[in-house]
Amino acid sequence: MSVADVDLRVGGRFRLVFGGPDGNEHEAAGVYRDVQPHRKLVFSWCWPRTTPDRVSQITILLRPEGKGTDMEFRHEQFFDQAARDGHERGWTVTFGKLEAFLRQA
């Protein structure tokens, strides 16, 4: 992650710039639609450099679970099936990395 600009409030914007497996830089951006600390986060998601008009939505729900936290992650409102499939691949890799990191903690 080379850039992480975050204004975490309803109506606030975020911008993330990161490297992909192809070595190219990617940029994602969006607007926070619902912010409930420790419970819920809803925000738009788009790729402003390549497909700025294709806006999807991400919802993250957090619930206490034993000594930890259960997270429900939902990404929806895709432009088409190919966009859905591409994001599924990307999120699968990302959550695999998160799981490995948490196991080391």
Range of the domain at 94: 3-104
Distance CA 70, CA 83 (A): 26
Q: How far is the C-alpha of 45 from the C-alpha of 42, rounded, in Å?
A: 10
Task: Decide: helix, strand or coil at residue 84.
Answer: helix
How many folded domains does the chain comprise?
1
CATH number at residue 55: 3.30.530.20
Predicted confidence pLDDT, tens digits, the chain (105 residues): 889 999 999 999 999 998 866 778 889 999 999 999 999 999 999 999 999 999 999 999 999 999 999 999 999 999 999 999 999 999 999 999 999 998 997
Give residue 49's Cα distance to chain centre: 17
Per-residue DSSP letter, 10: T
CA distance 100 to 96: 6
Which residues, 6+ apart, have CB-to-CB distance to 60 below 8 Å?
40, 41, 42, 71, 72, 73, 74
Q: Taking the model in full, what pTM does it have?
A: 0.90
